[in-house]
Structure 1
Amino acid sequence: MNVKIHRLSENARTPTYGSEVAAAFDLYAAADVIVAPGETAKIPLGFAVEIPDGYEMQIRPRSGITLKTKLRVANAPGTIDADYRGEVAVIFDNIAPESEFDDAYPCRLDGWVDSAYKGESCAYHTYNIYVGDRIAQAVILPVPRVSFEEVSAASELSDTTRGDGGFGSSGV
């Protein structure tokens, strides 16, 4: 599949696959952004994209960032619709609790501390995202169009073993 991409910033990087068989392609930050505990931040990617009709681009977290930091892709998976032509961005939530020492030792995504104190830990969970950092991944998937048929009674819906059992009803 050929996907057109238009750079909107000199800092934009074309998405890349990490290996020949990787399912998702990596997305790179096009701006320096600080994400303090308790904050939500939009990290621009610096490009617009033309997703083919009938498809969407899903933005997903990178597992290493989720495992090693308090940053979470806020709307994962985030959807970029086929008719959107604006700048693509990733929204991050920093789920670390707010503290009076939030910016004492801001950390890079790779765990290095952005200060003269290289021996300090990243205990305060303020993250500096820099241009070129791999911040998320994405896939392009087909999206079927559906039609909705309203029925007048629940009995017109097919029966299942689960029925109307909600959250946790099928086990934990």
Structure 2
Amino acid sequence: MKIKVINKGHHALPEYQTELSAGLDLRAVLSESKVLAPLERVLVPTGLYIELPQGYEAQVRPRSGLAFKHGLSVLNAPGTIDADYRGEIGVLLVNLSNEQFEVKDGERVAQLVIAKHETVEWEPVETLSDTERGAGGYGSTGKK
């Protein structure tokens, strides 16, 4: 699949790190480093603008290494980029640790996953079909 992209940043386009990777690493485009205090959040620019085909979205997801080692995550994970959005891709990064973290220019701050989706049409009804689970909610499966 080919996706049109404008790169206004000074880093190479995102790449897959391995042959079977699902996500492309997004890099921070910063004129100076940004220190994130505990529980602080910041919108990190990437310099990237994309044009997705209809029926696709781009998902901005946390990087597992940053989450595990430093407690950093993407606050609205996964962040959805719709096919009609033409603005810059930003990463809403949050520091969930008890220590400061310095986000540097070029830092791989998130992953971008391209996913196909369906558009639904609601069909109002009075009842739904029965299932074994029924209306059992959070934590209801696997219990007798």
Length-normalised TM-score, structure 1: 0.77
In 2, Cα distance between equivalents of 1:170 and 1:33: 44
Give 1:25's aligned residue.
Answer: 24
Structure 2 residue 20 is the aligned partner of structure 1 residue 14 = no
Structure 2 residue 113 is the aligned partner of structure 1 residue 167 = no
Larger Rg: 1
Count of residue pairs the alignment pairs up: 141
* Deviation readout 1:14-71 (Å, 9 max, x if unpaired): 1111012212111111113221112111111111111111100011111111111121
Q: Are the equivalent residues in 2 in contact too, given 1:59–1:137 (CA < 8 A)? A: yes
Looking at both structures, which has the greater relative contact order when contacts are Cα pairs under 8 Å and sequence separation is at least 6?
2
Flag as ranges the 4+ runs of structure 1 deviating above 4 A: none
Residues 78 and 91 of structure 1: CA distance in aligned 2, closer, same or farther (over 3 Å): same
Shift in Å at residue 148 of structure 1?
0.6
Structure 2 residue 12 is the aligned partner of structure 1 residue 4 = no
* Deviation readout 1:118-146 (Å, 9 max, x if unpaired): xxxxxxx1111111111111111111111
* Deviation readout 1:76-96 (Å, 9 max, x if unpaired): 111110000001011112123
**Percent of paired sites with the same residue:** 45
In 2, Cα distance between equivalents of 1:82 and 1:34: 32
In 1, Cα distance between equivalents of 2:122 and 2:77: 25
Give 1:89's aligned residue.
Answer: 90
In structure 2, the residue corresponding to 1:16 is in which secondary structure? coil
Shift in Å at residue 171 of structure 1?
4.0
- Counterpart among 120, 124, 129 of residue 146 in structure 1: 120
In 2, Cα distance between equivalents of 1:161 and 1:131: 52
* Structure 1 residue ranges without an equivalent (≥5): 98-124
Q: Are the equivalent residues in 1 in contact too, given 2:7–2:48 (CA < 8 A)? A: yes
In structure 2, the residue corresponding to 1:64 is in which secondary structure? helix
- CA RMSD across the alignment: 1.5
* Structure 2 residue ranges without an equivalent (≥5): none
Length-normalised TM-score, structure 2: 0.91
In structure 2, the residue corresponding to 1:132 is in which secondary structure? coil
Q: Are the equivalent residues in 2 in contact too, given 1:28–1:132 (CA < 8 A)? A: yes
Q: Are the equivalent residues in 2 in contact too, given 1:13–1:30 (CA < 8 A)? A: no
Shift in Å at residue 162 of structure 1?
1.0
